[in-house]
Structure 1
Amino acid sequence: MRYCKRCLYPENHPLNIVFDDEGVCSGCRVHEEKDELNWQEKKTRLGRLFDHYRNKAGRSYDCIIPVCGGKDSFYITHVVTREFGLNPLLVSFNHEYNTKIGIRNLANLVTVFDCDHITYTLDPDLMRKIARRTMKRFGSMYWHVLAGSLTFPVQAAVKFKIPLIVWGVNGWLDQVGMFSHLDEVEMTKKVRKEHALRGIDAEGIIEEAAGITRREVQPFIYPFDD
């Protein structure tokens, strides 16, 4: 088993990782870009993007921000509200793996930035059924966390007709260098399924005998393109 000489990530990282001749991983190499980027120029381009979506068609919200209460949630909400003056709708999927500190952090986030916030909480019994199902099928009791966190914000965007979703982090870039900072990567349905959900969408965990029907997995079904 090889490990990165800098960050110690192993070669069997679930997002796939590449090592160069010096034993440094692709994630660390992409991280080096941060020292050379023109961050002011990137901020200017981001501002133009935000201006394009700001209060169009009489909407009360300029964008959606998926949040969980962690550091990325606080940072991106600060940038969107304090630095660019947008009015976001904060959206969370309650995966039930919560701690008291995490619950408090999420409450503080909403209070500090004075934003509207909606949370989707699935039937806890159904959540346990799905976790058992995915654990038995492919060894993960975390599938519903990623599926819900990457699906509910898009469902909310469609429902409330808010075309811009601002994500606080791109794990595929930051962890393994799958993309470059120059790519300006967007979240897509394909990336969600292939990299976050291990290639298994909601339909793949339906098990009638276990009480997991298509109706039960509706919160994990990505909206259709039309």
Structure 2
Amino acid sequence: MFRYTTTACRKCNLQEDTFHGITIDAQGLCQFCAKQAPPPQRDWPRLKTLFEDTLAGVRGRLPRLPHEGLVMLSGGKDSAYMAHLLKDVYGMNLLGFIIDINYEYPETFDNAATIARRLEIPYVVYRQDPALMRRYYRYLFCEPGIHQQDCGQVCTFCGRFLIRTATEFARAMGIPLVFSGHNPDQILLMGQAVELEPAQREFMEFTMAVVAEDTATARAGWQAAHGPCPERLFPESLAPAGVQLVFPYQHFPYLPETMMQVVRERLDWTPIKRFSKTYIASGCRLVKLWSYLARCGNTNSYVDFEFSNQVRNGTLALETVRAFYDQADTGCEELAEIARDLGMVDEMRRMLRDRVGEDDELYRLLAS
């Protein structure tokens, strides 16, 4: 979201980044674009069949269930289109699940509720304990043992926490399937992708080994600081026994701009433009804070990598991505408010002083 350099790939807009080893050559290309490697080929017919077999395995086998699947709704385009696909195309009997972590924007709940109503899906808003969430996110931002230069640990752990929350709720309700709208890049990092190229599988396995190690470290640190750690905060597995987690976007081509057009027309969906006037994706309030810290560390965030990858794969236009960054909301007042709410002003000031110095705008706001 935040740009820290004008040295970026002319083809995919990825910034030069020594931390991640991203360099821009004399032709203005990053190493990914310079190689001009074609995107991995996917066996879409087979993947679609696997998806439909999963649905068929539930439908008819469990006729007494009030719901065949729980669909996670965030208010964004991905979960909106996923809900449309499941309900309109496949006729699934669904329960919508909206998680309130205490750091969401109001539009998240408005959009998610509108989607559910338009699809005639009953839904619940599951509010996490605010005091626990403050401790949890302060821990994710400030715990030295899990901290990363790009602050990616916040979304890595939070994403797993949200999914485990949904799957535990589904188990308690007797719902056999949970559907998550993570995009293909996120699914790969979740270790849930199927039919990968050898290089991708190797990367996924390496990533999951790192996540497992970091999860053990995070759990131990939490227990030392706060006592017993609820399983869902740092889960070893994303789903408990008896619940199957399904990522539809590993079974169908991911076409974000087409998806947006469909959900606008079918669901009266409205983009959440809290991040940029040019909408590509949205998130919670915490996204702005960790992406700002990544910028202060002169690193691309995982979101930057996702956008550049989608440009290389031809699913997003380069002009759209550039417009997203050009029109991004870069105000720091909200970031200071979040840091104060989480009780980590001193930690943020130290981090900012070490990375960019005391002239930083957010540093000055936190010092006032």
Would you call these one fold, judging by a TM-score over 0.5?
yes
More displaced 10-residue stretch of structure 1: 197-206 or 95-104: 197-206
Q: Is 1:25 aligned to residue 38 of structure 2?
A: no
Q: How much does 1:199 deviate?
A: 2.3
**How far apart are 1:80 and its partner, in Å?**
0.3
Counterpart residue number, 2:215: 200
Q: Distance in 1 between matches of 2:32 and 2:161?
A: 30
Shift of 1:68: 1.0
The equivalent position to 2:110 in structure 1, one of 104, 108, 123, is 104
Q: Distance in 1 between matches of 2:185 and 2:101?
A: 21
Distance 1:79 1:160 in 2: 23
TM-score by length of 2: 0.46
What's the counterpart of residue 186 of structure 1? none
| SS at 1:97 equivalent | coil
| C-alpha distance in 1 between matches for 2:192 and 2:17 | 18
Q: Any idea what SS the aligned residue of 2:70 has? A: strand
| Mapping for residues 59-98 of structure 1, pairs under 5 Å | 59-98=65-104
Q: Does 1:132 align with 2:138?
A: yes
Instruction: For residues 121-169 of structure 1, give each alpha carbon's deviation from its aligned partner in whole angstroms, at most 9, with x where no partner exists.
Output: 2221221122222221126583563243121111123222323222222
State the partner residue of 2:273: none
Structure 2: distance between partners of 1:119 and 1:31: 42
Shift of residue 221 of structure 1?
5.4
- Distance between the aligned counterparts of 2:94 and 2:209, measured in 1? 26
Compared with structure 1, are the counterparts of its residues 122 and 194 closer, same or farther at alpha carbon in structure 2 (3 Å cutoff)?
A: farther
Q: Rate the CA distance shift 1:30–1:128 in 2: closer, same or farther, 3 A.
A: farther
1:170 alignment partner in structure 2: 183
Amino acid at match of 2:58: Y
Mark the CA change 1:162 to 1:175 in structure 2 (over 3 Å): closer, same or farther: closer
Once the two structures are overlaid, the 10-residue window that deviates more, 83-92 or 53-62, is 53-62
| Length, aligned pairs only | 213
Over the residues paired in the alignment, what is the CA RMSD in angstroms? 4.4
C-alpha separation in 2, matches of 1:31 and 1:90: 37
What SS does the corresponding residue of 1:68 show, helix, strand or coil? coil
- Stretches of structure 2 that go unaligned for 5 or more consecutive residues are 197-205, 243-368
Corresponding residue of 1:116: 122
Of the structure 1 ranges 78-87 and 105-114, higher mean CA displacement relative to structure 2 is found in: 105-114
Contact 1:134–1:205, Cα closer than 8 Å, also in 2: no
Q: CA deviation at 1:56?
A: 2.7
Q: Percent identity?
A: 17
SS in 1 for 2:12: coil
Amino acid aligned to 1:72:
D
Contact 2:15-2:22 within 8 A present in 1 as well: no
Find out whether 1:48 has 2:53 as its counterpart. yes
Asked if the contact 1:95–1:145 (Cα under 8 Å) also holds between the matched residues in 2, the reply is: no
**2-structure distance, mates of 1:29, 1:117:** 45
Distance in 2 (CA, whole Å) between partners of 1:51 and 1:17 is 45
Contact between 2:87 and 2:93, CA under 8 Å: does it hold in 1? yes
Question: What's the CA shift for 1:42?
Answer: 4.5
Partner SS for 2:124: strand
3-state SS, counterpart of residue 199 of structure 1: helix
Gaps of 5+ in 1: 184-189
Conserved? CA contact 1:64–1:90, under 8 Å: yes
